Amino acid sequence: MTAPAAAVRGSAAVPLPYRVVRRDEETADTVTLALEPAGEGLEPFRPGQFAMVYAFGRGEVPVSVSGVERGGSGGRRGERLLHTVRAVGAVSAGLHGLRPGDGVGVRGPYGTGWEPAAAEGGDVLVVAGGLGLAPLRPLVRELLARPERYGRRSVLLGARTPADLLYREQVRAWSAAEGLLVGAAVDRPGPGWDGDVGTVVALLGRARFHPPDTAAFVCGPEVMMRATARELVHRGVPAHRIRVSLERTMHCGTGHCGHCQLGPVLLCRDGPVLGWDRAGPLLGVREL
């Protein structure tokens, strides 16, 4: 046993105080909160990792980091965490209702990340369904920042309606970036929608990639991830090069509460990002 927790201050059991400095409404029920540490900040998050965010008196929920910003005061202390939260339960509704100036508690970083380094040299597919774009946004930023490291890059988005698409302004900007294919498909288009109608899986047919050397990063509802991963495998993408981010109940983030088990995997520790070679067989067992 190595002496662990002391070395990772603030990331074990107790949240650090942060303050909401901005609140951006993304969709009818989803906001992005920019959080700045009130004192000491947490260790840096890698794309795909998550934090436990505490709504005062209500409880904590796991929320992936959807971006990092440099704050005004500079340095780690000023590093802002962006969290995109959908109001679905008591705690997330509490977070959704926060206003600039309100305090929250944050623990982390927890879990595995997307680890884009393994994708270098090959084509890259980012496939997001609904809120699944939130944990993928830092990865898209990485693809935009270092295009020379990757082959052909595609970002494929699915949503219920055009109004449910996250980060619409940014997605428009991504579309203008050279060498990045951005596709979006909605289930129900509205007037003025100029994207596709259908599932995000159908968009795979539009993307250009060389399957054996392609890395895919997939996040969305489990059914959507299963369908996407199967289609990618069918097209020849190796299962271990397809990474998905899974969701199970998480309370502690530290591998101690037992809730996030998926067979042999503790998702807060061994996930949430897993290769499809591991995730596929586990998701194939009902009620595992």
Under the binding rule (CB under 8 A), the answer on residue 223 touching other proteins is yes
Binding segment (CB under 8 A) for other proteins, from list 67-75, 124-132, 137-145, 168-176: 124-132
Q: Which residue in the set 21, 78, 93, 102 belongs to the binding site for other proteins (CB under 8 A)?
A: 102
CB of 77 vs other proteins, minimal distance in Å: 15
Q: Does 238 contact other proteins by CB under 8 A?
A: no
Alpha carbon separation from 46 to 32, 66, 151, 217, 237 (Å, rounded): 18, 10, 22, 14, 24
Residue 28 binding other proteins, by CB under 8 A: no
Establish if 44 lies at the interface with other proteins (CB under 8 A).
no
Q: Does 8 bind other proteins (CB under 8 A)?
A: yes
- Cβ-based nearer residue to other proteins, 64 or 119: 64
Nearer to other proteins, 160 or 172 (CB): 160
| C-alpha closest to that of 82 among 126, 22, 40 | 22
Residue 78 near other proteins by CB under 8 A:
no
How much of the chain is helix, strand and coil, in % rounded to 5?
30, 30, 40
Peptide bond into 264 cis (omega under 30): no
Which of residues 71, 105, 275, 280 is near other proteins by CB under 8 A?
105
Would you say 43 and 51 are in contact if contact means Cβ atoms under 8 Å apart? no
Q: How far, CA to CA in Å, does 245 sit from each of 60, 216, 278? A: 19, 11, 12
Number of residues that bind other proteins (CB under 8 A): 100
Binding flags for other proteins, 52-71, as an x/- string (CB under 8 A)? --x-xxxxxxxxx-------
Nearer to other proteins (CB atom), residue 161 or residue 170: 161
Based on the shown chain and the rule CB under 8 A, indicate whether residue 111 belongs to the binding site for other proteins: yes
Regarding 140 and contact with other proteins (CB under 8 A), the answer is no
Whose tokens are 């946004």? That residue is 137
Indicate which single residue of 78, 162, 189, 238 sits in contact with other proteins (rule: CB under 8 A): 189
> Can you tell me which of 109, 135, 138, 275 binds other proteins, judged by CB under 8 A?
135
| Residues 21, 36 contacting (CB under 8 angstroms) | yes
In terms of C-beta distances under 8 Å and separation of at least 24 residues, what long-range contacts does 225-232 make, across chains too? 225/129, 225/132, 226/280, 226/283, 227/199, 227/201, 228/127, 228/129, 228/200, 228/201, 228/204, 229/276, 229/279, 229/280, 231/201, 231/204, 232/125, 232/204, 232/276
Residue of 273, 275, 276, 279 interacting with other proteins (CB under 8 A): 273
Per CB under 8 A, 115 contacts other proteins: no
Residue with tokens 């990757």: 150
Q: Which residue lies nearer to other proteins by CB, 107 or 119?
A: 107
